[in-house]
Amino acid sequence: MALLSINNVSIRGIASCVPKSKIFTKDYPYFSESELDLFVKSVGITERRVAPTEVSTSDLCFHAAEKMIKDLDWKKEDIDCLIFVSQSPDYFLPATAIILQNRLGLSKSTMAFDVGLGCSGYVYGLQLMASLLSNGNIKKGLLLVGDKSTLSTHIEDKSTYPLFGDAGCATAMEYNPNASTMYFNLQSDGSGEDAIKILDGGARNTVRPDTFDIQEIEPGIKRSRRHLSLSGIDIFNFALKEVSANINDLLNYAHVQKEEIDYFVFHQANKLINESVRKKLKVTDLTKVPYSINLFGNTSSASIPLTITCHLKNELKNEKTMLFSGFGVGFSWASCVFKTNEIVCSDLIEI
């Protein structure tokens, strides 16, 4: 297992940006009344945010980063690294991180690169940035995460269209020799690649004449080869088997008891999955497990910082012991545990 400990790094700020446009689950025309009731009860989504055509993931991350830099009173010339974690980049190439470096007005000496991860991406991104900052050669970094997942769903696909929302988030991290240790457990299993997948548009299956043809896969599920396909039962079984074990191994490695954790912030996959993980971990205090999926849907790598922005904004001014866990597409999953130190959480941005 990739069990890691990293010293000398602290999270200084978190900002989140979502589209203003709200889509309500009750208005989805392809649900029957019984299907609607079951979906809201089990998945937990009552509304989502959907970006217009002209707004990309990088736009959402840009606004989050600008707000956070201002709230922290950081000088842009002091930012040494930018990591962009997303599965909806602006272009096939160049890397979106490079575009954001220029758009944000950062120095040409800034290191910038993309990471193509989804649900686990925030925790993976934290580990990458912390590793780069830990020896003190670079001092400040921006971790930008998010997805425009609604771009890849078809309205007549009941298995995906009502699930996803769009969001972009920014996390400021810096070298701090007085910071507490950050502990990570990162895992992957590519045998689950088909559970969440877009078949066409990459180098393996390029765009072809029938890529955008809408096909009826089964009753209630219509999509093209360029739309996202999702196997709910495979994802549920994976999460139930792997996530709690990953967290327990991490806590043992970090010598932290579950009772010491102030907040468990999970990727907002769906309510049934997350509640199953919570129960398997035997976390009985529901106030320790905040949810944002009801208001925003599954927002991929942005879901953990978005949940913090919405529910823990005022809680992180004092020291807290936090556990983050992201899991899904890949399969890829990761968790981290650490103590906060006066994290500045910006107000939610809507564009």
Q: How would residue 108 be classed by pLDDT, with cut points 50, 70 and 90?
A: very high
16 CB neighbour count, 10 Å cutoff: 35
Which CA distances in Å does 291 have to 36, 228, 296, 337, 341? 20, 24, 10, 18, 22
Stated pTM of the model: 0.97
Q: What is d(CA 272, CA 270) in angstroms, rounded to the nearest whole number?
A: 6
pLDDT over threshold 90, residue 312? yes
DSSP 17-55: EE-S-EEEGGG-TT--HHHHHHHHHHT--SEEE---TT-
Q: pLDDT tens for residues 149-175?
A: 999 999 999 999 999 999 999 999 999
Residue 227 DSSP one-character state: S
Averaged over 314-337, what is the pLDDT? 96
Q: What is d(CA 85, CA 51) in angstroms, rounded to the nearest whole number?
A: 18
> Phi and psi for 261 in degrees, rounded to 5?
-75, 125
Read off the amino acid at residue 119: C
Q: pLDDT tens for residues 223-233?
A: 999 999 999 99
Please name the helix (run of DSSP H) or strand (run of DSSP E) that holds residue 61, with its range, or none: helix 57-72
Residue 133's domain is classified under what CATH number?
Answer: 3.40.47.10
Averaged over 325-334, what is the pLDDT? 98
Q: pLDDT tens for residues 267-280?
A: 999 999 999 999 99
Q: What's the gap between Cα 84 and its chain centre?
A: 12
Read off the amino acid at residue 175: Y
Which CA distances in Å does 304 have to 113, 129, 141, 149? 21, 16, 18, 16
Return the beta strands (E) in 228-303 as ranges. 228-230, 263-266
Beta bridge partners of 229: 197
Averaged over 241-269, what is the pLDDT? 98
DSSP 89-124: -S-SSS-HHHHHHHHTT--TT-EEEEE---TTHHHH
**Does residue 331 have a cis peptide bond before it, meaning omega lies within 30 degrees of 0?**
yes
Q: What is the mean pLDDT of the chain?
A: 97
Read off the amino acid at residue 186: L
Domain extent at residue 209: 1-351
Q: How many domains does the chain have?
A: 1
Averaged over 8-24, what is the pLDDT? 98
Contact 80, 140 (CB under 8 A): yes
User: 136-151: string of b/e by CB count within 10 Å (b at 16+)?
Assistant: eebebbbbbbbbbbbb
Q: pLDDT tens for residues 173-206?
A: 999 999 999 999 999 999 999 999 999 999 999 9
Contact 243, 187 (CB under 8 A): no
Q: pLDDT tens for residues 64-99?
A: 999 999 999 999 999 999 999 999 999 999 999 999
pLDDT over threshold 80, residue 257? yes
Averaged over 116-133, what is the pLDDT? 98
Which CA distances in Å does 218 have to 31, 158, 162, 192, 197? 15, 10, 17, 21, 17
Within 8 A by CB and 6+ apart from 5, the residues are 181, 182, 183, 184, 253, 254
pLDDT for res 1? 62
Which tokens go with 77? 């010339």
Q: What is d(CA 10, CA 344) in angstroms, rounded to the nearest whole number?
A: 12
Owner of token pair 């709690």: 244
pLDDT for res 317? 86
Contact 239, 276 (CB under 8 A): yes
Beta bridge partners of 230: 196
